[in-house]
Structure 1
Amino acid sequence: TGGRLAEIFGERAIGMDLLQRRLGMTWGAENFLKGLKHNAAMRRLIDAYSQGVNAFIGSLRPSDYPLEYKILDYAPETWTTFDSALILKYMAWYLSGGGNDLDMTRSRAVLGAAETDKLFPFQAPFQDPVIPVGTAWDFALPAVPITSDRSMETGMPPGRKRGDAGDPFDEPIGSNNWAVSGKKTKSGFPILCGDPHLQLTLPAIWYEIQLSAPGINVGGVSLPGTPGVVIGFNEEIAWSMTNAGSDVLDFYKIKFRDKKRGEYAWGNAWRQTTVRREEIKVRGGKTVMEKVLYTHLGPVPFAEGRPEMPGWIPAGAAMRWTGHDGSGIMAALYLLNHAHGYSDFKTAVAKFDCPAMNIVYAGSDGRIAIWHNGKFPRRAKGQGRYLLDGSSPAAAWAGWVPMEQVPHLEDPVRGFVSSANQNPTDNAYPYYLGWDYGTFERGARINEILAAAPPLSPQDMVKMQCDALSLRARTILPRLLELLPKAGLTAAEQVRARELAAWDFVYRADSTEPTVFNLFWSELYRAVWDDEFMARRIFAAPAADRTMELILREPDSPYFDDLATPAKESLSDIVRPAFSRAIGRLEEQYGAFGPAWRWGRANPVTIRHLGRVPGLGAAPLAVSGGRGIINAASAANGPSWRMVVELGPAVRAWGILPGGASGNPGSRFYDDGIRDWVAGKAYELLFLKTAGQNHARISGRTEIGGSK
């Protein structure tokens, strides 16, 4: 994140380091620390945390260094508050950075605004939003000025391959969370559940802890390098988070005065650019110096096009991102850790600004709630969907959505709240927050289960977190099989089609139907959209849910025609070839139909080493579930922590990491949780009343002394 990997890995990491600096990650961390100057309590907290880390580092001899340091021939540096700030900014970037402004601008230039809005609707189809449809809002929308945007030339963005519509199963960074009130549980007490979906690594991204001291007793998981519990519970409340997905990053095309780029237009005047000189030290090589231009809107990552420029970054554009600002996230976590009820919770989340999150709450007071929470710019509908005019003050953000008016739901009659990265609201919500959210499947499936469930226990919730039914398959496959003609199919293809017709849409690790459906759907998706790329018509592929809507509700859509042929194809014309290609590809890759086609073998989950050191990760895992499914384990991503908390007179919690408690590859606790994580099990978490409490599960104690 700080752009210093070349100091360890040498020249091969220079490009990555330069990109981090160009994106303003170190600048954002500096702004975070500047903001702490006005918060003495948080400054003391982060200083004390750094001192604790350094006390441990100082106790180590080189022989005590972790294995990774020995492999890399690298010694740990003194930990600084800047390092903690960088980690917080990295998580903000991981969850809210990037964008498709450039591809959308190019697509609109070809399709026109009306057709672009049809293919990329502001309200995605089939959605069951975080805040239920029909919710009334008791505030009026302040006036927001009409803004302008600026379309670019319609050439191919650097880094984009022609003729590739992408992966229809590619989902944004996501997670699940929900809470049910006591009226839906066997115990009569609320239950909260959360499983953040991130990269799966050994050691794990999270570290399970309990912090017990005067005024605080909290458990859950921390983010190593930063103080406090991020997702967890205390004796009175529990909370968990999913990525909100609302748009908090816009690109502005800058009009420089001349080739020197010393000034840029803003309204009727010229403003001076500033230059930030970045120094990249290189192990075994010469130091690299780089100049990055800044405007009042933010950094200009690339003033002009370069071969190494990522395809999503527009050349000559400034990046306005809330993550570059100072942040209250550390104060928010501190207050959550200390919260005694819903009022304290609301005070805490009001400071949780970037990354924006869906934060779910359950309390021993019986209350449940969810807040689609963050620092959201006030914008006109669609502002930021395309590349904006960086010379027009009318294109600037018009302040912030008041925290008390962000979407939220408290103690609903239905008895539960939930989120899974889907649209936060229906169209009735007064503010525009964005449009590119997760597809409907996980959120709708969670709500479907909770709405119909009998009184629930924590064990029911543990099981639900591993639900592997695919709403995508259940929604679209019956129609695809209706369109699949029996004539012309080979004998093997007919058998596979009959198996799909009898399938219950559950992605079991030992089943072959998920493997066949996944590739069938991928081939059909590409049949719809690849020719649009080939003909240079669009640069951003419509989402899977919009493609499903075309198939189910607009079967005569012109997008089913293959532009590469003189004939005019219909939907039914492209289904059979897509199915045949899928079966052919499976036979080519895995041989004749057999065990190699099983979902868990054909699509294993990989838990790699955090530093990508060969041999220190886990063997490929056969896991039930996948993208767009509650148990969203897929490739190298999935539930990075599962947690279930029952609030009551005595809080009880269950959890599991896809790994272990130790970061030492030589320890049996390095990966001892993987087998149970795959099987969908969870352990009851040991939560002590006080740090000195005895318990039969305690096998030993380590006491660390300190001085004031």
Structure 2
Amino acid sequence: MEDFLKSAQAAFPIIDGSEKVNGLQKEVDILWDKWGIPHIFAETMEDACLSMGYVHARHRMWQLELFRRLISGELSEIVGKGALKSDMHYRIIGLHRVARSCAKRLKNANSDVSRALLAYVGGVNQGIQKMTQNPPIEFKLLELPIEPWRLEDSLKIILLIDWGLSKWNYPLELLRDKLIEKLGVNKADKIMPLYSGVTFQNPTGSNSWAVSPKKSKLGSALLANDPHLPLSLPAIWFLAHINYPGFNSIGSTFPGLPMIVLGHNEKIAWGCTNVHADTIDLFRLEINPNNKNQYKYNGQWIDFGVIEEPIEIKEDDNLNEFKVLTTKFGPIVKFYELDDEIYEIVSDDSFALRWSSFETRLENTIKGFFLINNASNWDQFRDGLKWLTINPQNFIYADLEGNIGLHHGGKIPVRKYGDGAMVTPGIDDKYNWERMSSFEEMWNVFNPEEGFLCNANYNEEKAPEGILLAQDRSEPFRQIRIKNLLQSKEKISFEDFIAFQLDYYTEEAALLLPQMLKYLKKNEDIAKLTDLVEFLENWDYELTKQTIGGTLYKIWVEQTIKSILIPLIGEDILNQYMGSCPFELNRLFELFENDDEKLSDLLFRSFQNTLAFLEKKLSVDVNKWKWGSLHKLTLTHPFSLADPKARVLNIGPFKFGGDTNTLNNGYYDPLNDYQVIVGPSFRQIHEFTNWDKSVWMLPGGQSGLAFHKHYADLIKLYLKGDYIPMLYSRKAISKHLEGELKLIST
């Protein structure tokens, strides 16, 4: 273990002193605060981007390597056949092909975007050169050389993020297909609406809200945001501050990209939540019965395009000769993703996938974010949003003048046919998309009379101009809670914002539990369970890690859904979709057609199943049925999934509160031992009277280097609900300085 530790520590970069770096125009100062956050002070945009790339490489190189291999379908090359399904899936989707095409355009462009990205790529490669003798421990264990970072690798990162925020949709189309096949149209529609949308527990959520000066105790605007993304090790985000003449932004970055994604500059602050717009459609193809290499479109048989994608597999001398078939819509898909699991599509039909981001220019999105970073007011902020081509995000805005706003940014397909909820016929142009939405059609609001704005992924079905956002939408409960909290006080304080982000109240339970108890109490055998029912009756709907009533409620809902649906659709289908759960319990109750006795009996049986489950899983002692004893977070290093010895690199487990419908989010996988897999991946609260009083928090730590002091130093603060200051002025940074690194041009 000692040798292992020394080997890991050999990769730790210096943060004090000076280093020579090729490609710099002038000297760059990087001030490292005591939480491992770099504050980069450069003289030019190119030097700032190069330095950001250098820092990302030195602290997150393994993460960068993992991301580019995942996106390119090249994991099998380093981990073996266990990653083959993932590789085939991503080779089909073809994010790497889109990135490659964009990189070719950018290399020939003379634009700020191309210069920024090329400088960043150069910085990553300078960092890689510094690690030649002592790379991060993961590369040593795999005996894997670090290949140079390329422009297309950075573009892949945008696509990975974009895909992660978009991919939720087409599994729901496939689910409707399965339900129709198994139950017929009428019964399938009763379980999950076929011709209208469903609300479901989308794991990639977020919270955001802002108040204007008239609603704020400070007399200035306040803004809060916390994106709900996978809680990983290292963290998805890397916190940074980038300063050069005319540019001074601080916030969260994605390793692989040079710009601040969420944060503030000298005049404005911003955050975002996923609109959960439907940007993916599946098209059912008609295959030529006499030639399986053709499909019908507009009355003609058309040859599939064929892309050779050979996959190299570790310890296998033979390449996996893999072919991707393409159509006018997009690739023929064979897999879909749910809760980080990849499932094979089992169907006699062939489905082509069309995604809005196959057809947009990534460089425009990067330009948009740089414009946002430089904006001084609402109009300039909107000018940045106009360029975004990603899956639509709901951007929240506030500025020093006290203005607040919400605005969708991104592209949504406008359909000629259908609403995207079900698989679309792929035989004729009349079923295809018509166009992409324009910026003028995007939903927005500025300075509302109420003095506050909020969004937690729940949106109206359509934008004001009639553009369909999505039939299937996230559940509204977090948004209801935020609105209730903001309306509960005449004036809102900075401390209130912190309390709101840490809130565990579940509006879902407040709505659903009284109905469940009403039917349960109609059962004549309920007297035997009075003491346990009292835990539910006395529960305050706070889903803290200490709650017992909350545990009973969560497992009872799960057992009830299983009791209703397993006889109808089978355990395999239900298990795949149990995490996101697009099955509304109130709708399922309608299957009982007002037969209260039958529903009461089912709820009684499912309650008994709940008790049996908790006795087996936790204890026969009811006092040990605390939500945090079941619902836990482990920050997992990818190596530990393949080798139990590598669990030394994990952090946790930790008891965790909440669920997907609480503001303090804790989305979990019921099939994976209730492990928390998604939560607040980054928290920020902006204070406009003094930027140095703004706060933020990251789950885990800044560094991706195992055993580094900043590998997981923030996790205990995160779990306690603490924050660290978002240091902005040089004076404030100097008070919490850990090191000053000068990058010097060679």
Q: Which bracket does the TM-score occupy, shorter chain normalised?
A: 0.7 to 0.9
Change over 3 Å in CA distance of 1:426–1:183 after alignment to 2: farther
Q: Which of 165, 174, 196 matches 1:102?
A: 174
Q: Which of 276, 286, 289 matches 2:321?
A: 289
| Partner amino acid, structure 2, of 1:699 | E
Change over 3 Å in CA distance of 1:34–1:494 after alignment to 2: farther
TM-score, normalised on structure 1?
0.85
SS at match of 2:498: helix
Change over 3 Å in CA distance of 1:388–1:121 after alignment to 2: closer
Provide the residue aligned with 1:33 in structure 2.
103
SS at match of 1:625: coil
Q: Which moved more, 1:639-648 or 1:113-122?
A: 113-122
- What's the % identity of the aligned pairs? 26
Provide the residue aligned with 1:605 in structure 2.
633
Provide the residue aligned with 2:94 in structure 1.
24
Give 1:15 shift.
Answer: 2.4
CA contact (8 A) 2:89 2:334 kept: no
Q: Which of 596, 602, 618 matches 2:651?
A: 618
Provide the residue aligned with 2:354 in structure 1.
320
Provide the residue aligned with 2:716 in structure 1.
675
CA contact (8 A) 1:223 1:230 kept: yes
Give 1:509 shift.
Answer: 1.2
CA contact (8 A) 2:237 2:252 kept: yes
Is 1:46 matched with 2:117? yes
SS at match of 1:280: coil
Give 1:244 shift.
Answer: 1.4
Deviation string, structure 1 residues 209-253 (Cα, Å, up to 9, x no partner): 000011210001100011111111111111112121111111112
SS at match of 2:648: coil
Give 1:68 shift.
Answer: 1.8
| Partner amino acid, structure 2, of 1:289 | E
- Measure the CA separation in 2 of the matches of 1:122 and 1:43: 45
Provide the residue aligned with 1:140 in structure 2.
none
Is 1:488 matched with 2:525? yes
- Measure the CA separation in 1 of the matches of 2:111 and 2:376: 23
Provide the residue aligned with 2:18 in structure 1.
none
Provide the residue aligned with 2:743 in structure 1.
704
Deviation string, structure 1 residues 573-621 (Cα, Å, up to 9, x no partner): 2111111111111112222124531111121122212554422121111
**What are the equivalent positions in structure 2 for 1:654-665 lying under 5 Å apart?**
654-665=695-706
Deviation string, structure 1 residues 415-451 (Cα, Å, up to 9, x no partner): 2222112133569762222111111111111111112
Is 1:471 matched with 2:512? no
| Partner amino acid, structure 2, of 1:704 | L
CA contact (8 A) 1:302 1:315 kept: no
Provide the residue aligned with 2:136 in structure 1.
66
CA contact (8 A) 2:210 2:222 kept: yes
Change over 3 Å in CA distance of 1:545–1:201 after alignment to 2: closer
| Partner amino acid, structure 1, of 2:351 | A
- Measure the CA separation in 2 of the matches of 1:453 and 1:384: 40
| Partner amino acid, structure 2, of 1:584 | A
Q: State the superposition RMSD in angstroms.
A: 3.0
Change over 3 Å in CA distance of 1:378–1:389 after alignment to 2: same
| Partner amino acid, structure 2, of 1:195 | D
Q: Which of 221, 244, 250 matches 2:252?
A: 221
Change over 3 Å in CA distance of 1:314–1:177 after alignment to 2: farther
Is 1:436 matched with 2:472? yes
Deviation string, structure 1 residues 546-581 (Cα, Å, up to 9, x no partner): 734347xxx6643788xxxxxx96322211111111
Q: Which of 146, 165, 171 matches 2:202?
A: 171
Change over 3 Å in CA distance of 1:15–1:624 after alignment to 2: closer
Q: Which of 275, 279, 298 matches 2:310?
A: 279
Q: Which of 353, 357, 378 matches 2:393?
A: 357
Q: Which moved more, 1:283-292 or 1:49-58?
A: 283-292
Give 1:123 shift.
Answer: 6.7
- Measure the CA separation in 2 of the matches of 1:312 and 1:247: 23
Give 1:672 shift.
Answer: 1.3
Q: Which moved more, 1:265-274 or 1:213-222?
A: 265-274
Q: Which of 489, 501, 515 matches 2:537?
A: 501
Give 1:61 shift.
Answer: 3.3
Unmatched segments (≥5 aa) in structure 1: 128-167, 562-567
- Measure the CA separation in 1 of the matches of 2:252 and 2:459: 27
Provide the residue aligned with 2:159 in structure 1.
89
- Measure the CA separation in 2 of the matches of 1:544 and 1:296: 32
Change over 3 Å in CA distance of 1:541–1:521 after alignment to 2: closer
Give 1:411 shift.
Answer: 1.3
Q: Which moved more, 1:36-45 or 1:89-98?
A: 36-45
CA contact (8 A) 1:661 1:669 kept: yes
- Measure the CA separation in 2 of the matches of 1:434 and 1:659: 34
| Partner amino acid, structure 1, of 2:394 | N
Give 1:55 shift.
Answer: 0.9
Give 1:630 shift.
Answer: 0.5
SS at match of 2:435: coil
- Measure the CA separation in 1 of the matches of 2:637 and 2:143: 18
- Measure the CA separation in 2 of the matches of 1:569 and 1:530: 20
> More helix per residue: 1 or 2?
2
- Measure the CA separation in 1 of the matches of 2:593 and 2:437: 38
- Measure the CA separation in 2 of the matches of 1:693 and 1:514: 42
Deviation string, structure 1 residues 681-705 (Cα, Å, up to 9, x no partner): 111111125xx98721123200112
Change over 3 Å in CA distance of 1:700–1:96 after alignment to 2: same
Provide the residue aligned with 1:120 in structure 2.
193
- Measure the CA separation in 2 of the matches of 1:483 and 1:421: 32
**What are the equivalent positions in structure 2 for 1:10-409 lying under 5 Å apart?**
10-34=80-104, 36=106, 40-62=111-133, 64-98=134-168, 99=170, 100-108=172-180, 110-112=183-185, 116=189, 119-120=192-193, 170-257=201-288, 260-285=291-316, 286-302=318-334, 310-311=344-345, 315-325=349-359, 326-327=361-362, 328-379=364-415, 382-409=418-445
Q: Which of 722, 726, 729 matches 1:688?
A: 729
Provide the residue aligned with 2:60 in structure 1.
none
CA contact (8 A) 2:631 2:657 kept: no
Change over 3 Å in CA distance of 1:437–1:681 after alignment to 2: same
CA contact (8 A) 2:391 2:412 kept: no
| Partner amino acid, structure 2, of 1:636 | I
Q: Which moved more, 1:351-360 or 1:499-508?
A: 351-360
CA contact (8 A) 2:203 2:660 kept: no
- Measure the CA separation in 1 of the matches of 2:726 and 2:571: 56
Deviation string, structure 1 residues 624-677 (Cα, Å, up to 9, x no partner): 322211011241221110110122465642001011122222222211111111
Provide the residue aligned with 1:6 in structure 2.
76
SS at match of 1:300: coil
- Measure the CA separation in 2 of the matches of 1:119 and 1:20: 29
Q: How many residues align?
A: 648
Is 1:448 matched with 2:484? yes
Change over 3 Å in CA distance of 1:650–1:315 after alignment to 2: same
Change over 3 Å in CA distance of 1:117–1:353 after alignment to 2: farther
SS at match of 2:684: strand
Provide the residue aligned with 2:6 in structure 1.
none
- Measure the CA separation in 2 of the matches of 1:445 and 1:292: 46
- Measure the CA separation in 2 of the matches of 1:35 and 1:452: 52
- Measure the CA separation in 1 of the matches of 2:725 and 2:520: 48
| Partner amino acid, structure 1, of 2:233 | L
Give 1:381 shift.
Answer: 7.0
Give 1:524 shift.
Answer: 1.5
Unmatched segments (≥5 aa) in structure 2: 1-70, 336-341, 641-645, 668-675
Change over 3 Å in CA distance of 1:294–1:319 after alignment to 2: same
Change over 3 Å in CA distance of 1:7–1:376 after alignment to 2: same
SS at match of 2:508: helix
Give 1:261 shift.
Answer: 4.2
- Measure the CA separation in 1 of the matches of 2:524 and 2:733: 72
Change over 3 Å in CA distance of 1:78–1:531 after alignment to 2: same
CA contact (8 A) 2:418 2:424 kept: no
- Measure the CA separation in 2 of the matches of 1:681 and 1:42: 37
Give 1:121 shift.
Answer: 7.3
> More strand per residue: 1 or 2?
2
- Measure the CA separation in 2 of the matches of 1:268 and 1:337: 49
